Each structure stands twice: as C-alpha cells, then as structure tokens.
Amino acid sequence: MTYIAKPKFHHPGLKKNDLGYTHRDYEGKISTLCAGCGHDSITASIIEACYELSIEPHRVAKISGIGCSSKTPDYFLGNSHGFNSVHGRMPSVLTGANLANRDLIYLGVSGDGDSASIGFGQFAHSIRRGVNMTYIVENNGVYGLTKGQFSATADRGSKSKKGVTNTDNAIDLVAIALQLGATFVARSFSGDKTQLVPLIAAAIRHKGASFIDVISPCIAFNNHAGSTKSFDYVREHNDAVNRLDVLVGRDPIAVDYAPGTVQLVEQHDGSKIALRKIDADYDPHDRLGAQTFLAKHAAKGQIVTGLLYVDPEAEDLHEHLNTVETPLNTLEADTLCPGSTVLDKINASLR
C-alpha cells in the first residue's frame, strides 16, 4: 500500500515500442497490495509483455473475479477494457465477452481461490471450450484477503504461518488444464521475470485457451519456512524444462543458439517461439508426456516450470461454433435477426 501516486516522470532514455509507447504507458494505477507481493511482479510482467508485443491498449479486455489477484487488473493497462466480475465467474464473463467480440485480446486474471475453489467449474468449462484467451492464475496457495487460510492449491503437508499443517490434497491447475484440453499450458514463478514475460507474450499470441499458473509468494501469509509457495522454497525446487524467446514478425533469430538446443514453434499467427531446452528430453508437443512428467516431478516435490504444452495448430471456440469472422457485436439487427421469412425457411428445412 502506497499513498502517493507513482511519479509521472520516467527515465528520459526509455525505449519506445512500434507504437511509440514506453513500458510506462502500459501501467495502471499504483498497486494497493502488500509491499513485496508476488502479484505485483506478475503485473510488471504483463506490462512488459504487452509493451514488447506493441499491443494497442484499447484492443485488450482484462477480466477478473475476486481476490488479491483479481484486484491486479487495476494496476496494469490503464487504458484497456476491464471487467471485475463476481467471485469465480471470470471465465463465464470472459467467454461471453469473447463470443460477442472476437477481435479483442482477452486476459483472464484470477487466483487460486477464484479458480480452484469457488470458480473451479467455471475454470474447467472455459478451458474445455477452448476460449481464445490468456488465463493467468496468480497462485499463492493462501487466502490472503482473509488472513492466510490454506487455499485449494496449498500442498498437502505444507505449513501455515501459524504452524498448522495442511491435510487436504492440492489441486494442480496445470495438470487439470492439460487434461481438459488447454492448447497452451505453462507454469512460472513471479520471481523469475526472464521466464515469465516471454511466456505471457507467447500465450497472448496463442490462438486458443492458454493457461499460465504463476506461483506468486504471499509476503504477508505464505512466505515462511514450511510453506511450499515461498520465495526460498520455489527457488530451491524450481525445475525449469525450458526458457523461451518470442519472435514476432519476420525478424530473423538474432540470438545465437548452440545447435540442437533450440526448438522453433510457429504459432497460428506466424509468430515464433524459440524454446531453449533445459531438459533435453522434454517435448512440449506431447500432452500425455507432459502429464506424466508433471506427475513424476510433483511426487519428487519439484515444481516444474516453463512451457509445458503447446499445440500450434489449435482451434478456438469460434471455429468450433463456426461463427462469422465479423464480431457479433458489430452486426446490424437485420443481419442478426433476418426476419420471419428466413425463420420459416429454417423451420421448413427441419420438418
């Protein structure tokens, strides 16, 4: 919590993107979260990713539910569309908005409470339907706003700040997203922007349901010894399978990689993801393999991060429904409702 507004001055030498914006132009209001909150780093990463992709702020809709994480859309993209929905209902509102206007970029921002508890069903169905969106869960394993109860993603056996041991099994949202058919699945850590920023950028460029689980330590209630979502624990147990660079446009790959260490993934829109492999055997195109890998490492207490699965040829909800290219919200009334003669014809065809 900070009382003064962030000063408007910025570094005079800040680089501008293709639109002439600096990264400061993608900021929102100053954060009211606790000092040091991991969520603020995710906010900074979203700002950085949108800046690097030269996204026009008015082409973005950021939609969230309730919770510390769901407050964060106020802190980035101050010139974008936003909707702060009922607790756990972000996925439905996002799906509706996406159906009405398929032209916007949809950022769904949620937390472990919002997505793994009250909105678990909503989360599942939006993924299952393949809504074209970037679904980010800011996962701290704890209900911060209500002072630190375990959430549904808290690992069994981890300890609360007061020393109570969690006896419930944890929901692994990444495993579930994989199972439900998400076409871009990643996990990252708020304390590792070099990994997180390109993941968010690649997810935004992905057509289909992108899901990123970002472990984000709660400084106030879940950053102690015994927690499995603390800075120290995540840094010790982080097992990154890959690092990536997002290449947009026709830019040749400027980075010099050792042969065999990089896998190029071309997405639907022509953008490329250069995957620098850390685990040489890991194949991000193998959904089943990813599930097994994840389960094996989870059993060893390791937190697997990186781009875990991507289907570059994915389809989205609009393709499944065969809707028109023109966003529905821009169609005139006579197109949307062609009148009783047309209805009669349709009825006749069904008799």
Partner 1 sequence: MKPTDIAAPDYFHKVVDCQWACPAHTPVPEYIRLIAQGRYSDAYMINWKSNVFPGILGRTCDRPCEPACRRGRVEETPVAICRLKRVAADFKDDIKQRLPKPAPKNGKRIALVGGGPASLTVARDLVPLGYHCTVFDGDPEAGGMMRTQIPKFRLPNSVIDEETGYILGLGVEFKGGHRIESMKALLAEKYDAIFVGSGAPRGRELDIPGRKEAAANIHIGIEWLANVSFGHTDKIGKRVIVLGGGNTAMDCCRTARRLGGEKVTVVVRSGFEEMKASPWEKEDALHEDIPILNYMVPVAFKHVAGKLIGVTFQHVKAEYDAKGRRNLVPSGDPDQTIPCDDVLVAVGQENAFPWIEQDCGIEFDKWHMPKVDQKTFASTNPKVFFGGDAAFGPKNIIWAVAHGHDAALSIHKLLSGEDIDERPLPEVEVSSQKMGIHEWSYDNDISIDKRFKVPHRDKVVALKDIRAEVELGYDVKLALGEAHRCLNCDVQTVFSTSLCIECDACADICPMDCITFTDNGEESDLRQRLKAPSPHPDQDLYVSSDLKTGRVMVKDEDVCLHCGLCAERCPTGAWDMQKYFIEMTHAGSTCPTKSRSAA
Binding site for partner 1 (CB under 8 A): 1-15, 24, 30-31, 34-38, 40-41, 43-44, 190-191, 193, 217, 219, 223, 231-232, 235
Min separation Cβ 30 and partner 1, Å: 8
Q: Which CB sits closer to partner 1, 36 or 270?
A: 36
Dihedral sign (CA 294, 209, 245, 55): negative
Minimum Å distance from CB 48 to partner 1?
10
Of 44 and 142, the one with the shorter C-beta distance to partner 1 is 44
What's the Cα-to-Cα distance from 258 to each of 166, 182, 291, 305, rounded to whole Å? 45, 31, 28, 22
Q: Rounded to the nearest whole angstrom, what is the least distance from the CB of residue 13 to partner 1 in the complex?
A: 4
Contact 190, 42 (CB under 8 A): yes
In whole angstroms, how close is the CB of 254 to partner 1 at the nearest point?
Answer: 16
Q: Using the structure block, give the residue that is written with the tokens 């690092």.
A: 243
Nearest residue (CB) to partner 1, 35 versus 295: 35
Contacts 24+ apart (CB under 8 A), 315-322: 315/130, 315/207, 315/208, 316/130, 316/131, 316/132, 316/207, 316/208, 316/209, 317/95, 317/98, 317/99, 317/129, 317/130, 317/131, 317/132, 318/98, 318/99, 318/102, 318/132, 320/129, 320/130
Cβ-based nearer residue to partner 1, 12 or 163: 12
Residue 1 CB, shortest distance to partner 1, in Å, is 7
Toward partner 1, which CB reaches closer, 3 or 254? 3
